């Protein structure tokens, strides 16, 4: 990957990156200060884990990505410099607002009942899929269809092996090591329906979220602000909406928890995308976060 591309707004990038780092650090510090060292890590269960058990795999994953030699043949943010600056700024603002539009009303609704599920699905598809698609189709016509080439196909085994090493090590830390999150047994149920729900959830959550937050939004913000400011900003934006499905009504602890948990995990996902530019890598990791290997094996072989 070409790391020498010229960031369009480096001053803004440094300021936003610093602010985001302060927010993440403050979230972790607040949990420690208030004695909330055990956090809820998923919306599916009420169990909690020590905060370090969530943070450590993400930071070790980032360290591993940095240490493994890798020469990317994929398109980097410098490709967006072929666009007019005002077009890139408009696209980034619209995508940011779409993310905010999805998040803000969601966390203010009563998170119980069918109406919440319908709102969640409707607004997620509208704000994270339909609005971005309309925006990109409009600009595709304006630019002759030459933007948004995500990546080229791998040209060597190294372009698959490097991310696979990271995935395997992260999976061990997250699901099988002494700091692995707890897994419960699936109660007797209709496995066909459960498998269908897993597949639908994978498309709506893992695929859609990674395409919107990392592929569409982060890549543009990297060109505008720089790599890490973009990763930090997108990670916080992605984490905040989880308050709606994991909050317990204590807003300060809820916000700090999702930032310390999902926000830090977002740094790992964002760096995976920035380093490898392989959509399947981030979708796979996100999918495993939502349905762990242990859970999937139970579904398939119950």
Mean pLDDT of 27-33: 97
Domain count, the chain: 1
pLDDT of residue 79: 59
126 found inside a domain: yes
Which residues make beta-bridge pairs with 50?
Answer: 38
Report the percentage of the chain scoring pLDDT > 90. 62
3 found inside a domain: no
Mean pLDDT of the chain: 87
At a CB cut-off of 8 Å and minimum separation 6, what does 36 contact? 51, 253, 256, 257
pLDDT of residue 196: 87
70 found inside a domain: yes
pLDDT of residue 80: 63
1 found inside a domain: no
CA–CA distance, 299 with 280 (Å, rounded to integer):
22
168 found inside a domain: yes
The 10 Å CB-count burial string (b at 16+, else e) for 16-44 is bbeebeebbeebbebbeeeebeebbbbee
Which range is most confident: 74-78, 127-131, 195-199, 245-249?
Answer: 127-131
pLDDT tens-digit readout, 38-78: 998 887 777 889 999 999 999 999 999 999 988 765 556 65
Q: Tokens 């080229």 sit at which residue?
A: 152
Look at residue 187 and tell me whether its pLDDT is greater than 70.
no
Domain assignment of residue 265, given as a range: 10-301
278 found inside a domain: yes
CA 209 distance to own-chain centroid: 7
pLDDT of residue 81: 56
Q: How much is the pTM? A: 0.92
């Amino acid at each position: 990957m070409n790391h020498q591309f010229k960031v369009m707004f480096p001053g803004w990038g440094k300021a936003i990156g610093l602010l985001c780092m302060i927010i993440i650090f403050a979230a972790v510090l607040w949990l420690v200060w208030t004695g909330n060292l055990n956090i809820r890590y998923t919306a599916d269960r009420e169990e909690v884990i020590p905060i370090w058990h969530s943070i450590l795999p993400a930071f070790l994953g980032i360290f591993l990505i940095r240490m493994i030699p890798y020469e990317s043949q994929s398109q980097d943010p410098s490709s967006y410099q072929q666009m007019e600056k005002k077009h890139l700024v408009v696209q980034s603002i619209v995508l940011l607002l779409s993310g905010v539009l999805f998040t803000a009303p969601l966390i203010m609704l009563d998170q119980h009942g069918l109406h919440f599920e319908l709102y969640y699905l409707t607004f997620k598809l509208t704000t994270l899929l339909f609005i971005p698609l309309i925006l990109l189709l409009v600009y595709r016509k304006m630019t002759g269809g030459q933007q948004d080439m995500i990546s080229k196909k791998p040209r060597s085994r190294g372009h698959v092996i490097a991310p696979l090493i990271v995935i395997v090590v992260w999976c061990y830390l997250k699901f099988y090591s002494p700091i692995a999150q707890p897994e419960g047994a699936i109660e007797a149920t209709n496995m066909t329906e459960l498998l269908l729900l897993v597949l639908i959830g994978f498309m709506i959550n893992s695929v859609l979220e990674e395409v919107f937050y990392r592929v569409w939004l982060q890549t543009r913000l990297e060109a505008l602000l720089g790599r890490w400011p973009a990763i930090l900003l997108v990670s916080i934006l992605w984490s905040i909406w989880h308050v709606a499905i994991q909050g317990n009504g204590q807003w300060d602890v809820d916000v700090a928890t999702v930032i310390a948990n999902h926000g830090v995990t977002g740094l790992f996902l964002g760096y995976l995308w920035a380093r490898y530019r392989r959509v399947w890598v981030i979708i796979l990791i996100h999918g495993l976060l939502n349905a762990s290997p242990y859970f999937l094996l139970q579904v398939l072989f119950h």
